[in-house]
Amino acid sequence: MKRWLQNNETTMSEENEGDSRSSKKGSTHVNKRRKFSEEYITFGFTNINVNNEERPQCVICYEILSNKSMKPAKLRRHLQTRHTDYLTKSKQFFESKAAELEQSKKLIKKTAIGTNNERAVTASYQVPLLVAKSGKPHTIVEELILPAAKIMVSAMLGDKASNELSTVSLSNNTVKNRIVEMSENIKEQLISNIKTSKFYSLQLDESTDICNDANLLAYVRYENHNTITEDFLFCISLPSNTTGEAIFNILNSFIISHDIKWNNCVAVSTDGARAMSGTRSGLQARLKTINSSIIWHHCCIHREALAAKNMPEKLNEVLRDIVQVVNLIKARSLNSRIFNLICEDMGSIHKQLLLHAEVRWLSRGKVVSRVFELKNGIRMFFFNNSMEVTKYANLFNNFEWLCTVAYLADIFNSLNSLNISLQGKEDNIFHTEDNIEAMLKKLELWRKRALQNNFNHFPTLYAFIESSDEVFPQDTKDIIIEHLQILKHSFRKYFPVPDKNKNWVVDPFNADVPDITGLTTTQENQLIEISSNSNLKRVFKESSLSSFWLSIRQDYPEISDSALRPLMLFSTTYLCEKGFSAYVYTKNKYRNRLNIESDLRIQLSNIDPKIPDLVLKKQHHPSH
């Protein structure tokens, strides 16, 4: 037994020694490392250290091969199989590629060290800023943007750089908090700017959202660095009703709580709703009790739409027939498809009719124009359709009725063009008055030309008359003349004759000072000095109206202030209308619980948040 044990121990010892020898031999084979040679650059390879091991890296595709591949034959094979276009390139070419690769590595290394946490916090503001500006949900960052960024960075720069993105805190709550902080920062800057402005004016409108909540939206126009600037002021929910008192309380509370002076308010522009325009209990009346010099201004776009509504009854009947035709075809999907096929067979550019909406001011012109354009397709549709064949088919065979439709298409398009010309940022009352006066002169010209049987100013009607052998109906001519006269009177009712005493604001160098009323002695003398200054005349031609008066305020303060007051006024509520469009897009049925003011401020404001200041207030903790 003892001998067996001894023999067994000897055998086991020999086996262990053998295993040890073989293990040492194997480890010697595995640990053998190949060294990089500078000549390998001729094959397009430089070296990179991975886990304390030199490996070849292609300077073309950046692929890293194993240490075993650090052989001329294998490196040459990579170049021949992967990059055949580079086989004839010189050594200098590959050296320049290697230098570019090294520079990229240094850049990545630089961004990956040092103030990583601070950069992560900065990024946690910059990304939500883009989200708020686009009106997208806050969760899109965590669900889409961050994963997509990691994929792109990983593919382009590697996993290590991609992992650095995980240090950026972009959760739903963080995105929300960052947006609120940036919104408050923008608001603070805006309030500070308004306080330093000598004058400011407001633009207000009220509307209802997807949750049936009434919201008051306001814009402000003020002086800032020798320019007149306009910006989003606030969007606040009205507590219950939308009376003049409720609107005034919201507005007054905001102005007072932010220490803004009512005495500096020049004008307030709103729509014509009774709650806004009421002279006894409306917003206008309540503002007058605070500052009697405040001008209340009725939005010119709303006034234009009201003036354009007046039409003779016959034109209203034709418009109702057009709307009924459109509704009949669009009401059923089968009718729409059949009509589409008819238009396609007839080679029409457009194949769909447009639905009319009374609240959309540009709707009438587009609907009527499309109906007249597709009149042949509509006629064919009703002849092939047993429903209401006689009534509507006869309409589209009636020359007089079609002439009326053609006229409506032209006049509505002209009114639409006027409406669009009144829209836009940085408007002023003088530009608006010029457009309205031009329209009034056109209406008078068109009426006189119609009396002479000249319809050249109505291109659709003129082309239709010229293409037909029938005589233009006298009744249609009388209706056109009557309508143009009605429009002229209606426009003058809503737009009184402009005050010529303010023309010097637009052109101070041709002003006849003795004929101007309402100026003080000092203002008259300053205006004469300005009109006689050739250097100022050159400056006037090279700058905007508001910039000119602001630039000379220091030398001519009294007359400049008098000129700036009407320039400060909003002629329309276009910005509020545009703001509500952004509101509806952002707070939709999928996000109906959103507290929208912070998102809306970032989306609509012209002021950028001071992100570096916000970052300094934060502790630079990375995301976990």
For residue 87, give the DSSP letter: T
Instruction: Give backbone dihedrals phi and psi of 168, rounded to 5 degrees, phi first.
Output: -85, 120
| Reported confidence tier of residue 273, pLDDT bands at 50, 70, 90 | confident
Q: pLDDT tens across 63-121, in order?
A: 888 888 888 988 889 988 889 888 888 888 989 888 888 888 777 665 554 467 888 89
What is d(CA 140, CA 172) in angstroms, rounded to the nearest whole number?
Answer: 8
Residue 361 confidence (pLDDT): 65
What is d(CA 481, CA 476) in angstroms, rounded to the nearest whole number?
Answer: 9
Q: Do the beta carbons of residue 288 and residue 480 sit within 8 Å? A: no
Q: Do the beta carbons of residue 98 and residue 41 sit within 8 Å? A: yes
In the three-class reduction of DSSP (H, G, I as helix; E, B as strand; rest coil), residue 40 is classed as helix
Q: Do the beta carbons of residue 265 and residue 252 sit within 8 Å? A: no
Mean pLDDT of 405-423: 93
What is d(CA 232, CA 350) in angstroms, rounded to the nearest whole number?
Answer: 39
Residue 115 confidence (pLDDT): 62
Beta pairing, strands 228-237 & 214-223: antiparallel
| Reported confidence tier of residue 390, pLDDT bands at 50, 70, 90 | low
Q: pLDDT tens across 34-79, in order?
A: 888 888 898 899 988 887 788 899 999 988 888 888 889 888 899 8
In the three-class reduction of DSSP (H, G, I as helix; E, B as strand; rest coil), residue 114 is classed as coil
**Residue found under tokens 């992560």:** 120
Sign of CA dihedral 180, 185, 189, 195: positive
Neighbours of 105 (CB within 10 A): 13
Secondary structure of 552-596 as H, E, C letters: CCCCCHHHHHHHHHHHHCCCCCHHHHHHHHHHHHHCCCCCCCCCC
Neighbours of 53 (CB within 10 A): 11
Q: Which among 402, 412, 411, 356 has a CA at the least distance from the CA of 378?
A: 402
- Quick one: what percent of the chain has pLDDT higher than 70? 91
Structure tokens at 209: 């959202």
pLDDT at 15 over 60: no
pLDDT at 23 over 50: no
Residue 623 confidence (pLDDT): 62
Structure tokens at 350: 């457009």
Please state, rounded to an integer, the average pLDDT across all residues of the chain: 87
Q: pLDDT tens across 429-484, in order?
A: 999 999 999 999 999 999 999 999 999 999 999 999 999 888 899 999 999 999 99
Q: Do the beta carbons of residue 596 and residue 587 sit within 8 Å? A: yes
Sign of CA dihedral 145, 147, 149, 151: negative
Q: Do the beta carbons of residue 120 and residue 623 sit within 8 Å? A: yes
| Reported confidence tier of residue 161, pLDDT bands at 50, 70, 90 | confident
Q: How far from chain centre, in Å, is Cα 79?
A: 50
427: buried, middle or exposed (CB in 10 Å: 19+, 13-18, 0-12)?
A: buried
Provide the strand spans (E) within 164-292: 200-208, 214-223, 228-237, 265-270
pLDDT at 376 over 70: yes
Q: Which among 46, 304, 202 has a CA at the least distance from the CA of 575?
A: 202
Mean pLDDT of 131-156: 93
Q: pLDDT tens across 223-249, in order?
A: 998 899 999 999 999 987 888 899 999
DSSP string, 92-112: HHHHHHHHHHHHHHHHHHHHH
HSE value, Cβ hemisphere, 13 Å, CA-based, for 605: 24
Query: Cα torsion at 31, 36, 40, 43 (round to 10°)?
Result: 50
Q: Would you put residue 364 in left (φ > 0), alpha (ψ -120 to 50) or beta?
A: alpha
Mean pLDDT of 151-160: 90
What is d(CA 144, CA 403) in angstroms, rounded to the nearest whole number?
Answer: 55
Describe the strand order of the beta sheet including 295-298 as a list of residue ranges.
Answer: 228-237, 214-223, 200-208, 265-270, 295-298
What is d(CA 91, CA 235) in angstroms, rounded to the nearest whole number?
Answer: 65
Amino acid of residue 101:
L
Mean pLDDT of 150-162: 90
What is d(CA 101, CA 56) in angstroms, rounded to the nearest whole number?
Answer: 13
What is d(CA 127, CA 131) in angstroms, rounded to the nearest whole number?
Answer: 6
- Quick one: what percent of the chain has pLDDT higher than 90? 54
Report helix angle 333-345 to 313-331, nearest 10: 100
Neighbours of 448 (CB within 10 A): 12
Structure tokens at 100: 């570019």
| Reported confidence tier of residue 624, pLDDT bands at 50, 70, 90 | low
Residue 558 confidence (pLDDT): 95
pLDDT at 6 over 50: no
pLDDT at 561 over 80: yes
Q: Which among 521, 491, 493, 523 has a CA at the least distance from the CA of 505?
A: 523
Q: Strand pairing partners for 206?
A: 216
Q: Do the beta carbons of residue 55 and residue 64 sit within 8 Å? A: yes
Q: Would you put residue 301 in left (φ > 0), alpha (ψ -120 to 50) or beta?
A: alpha
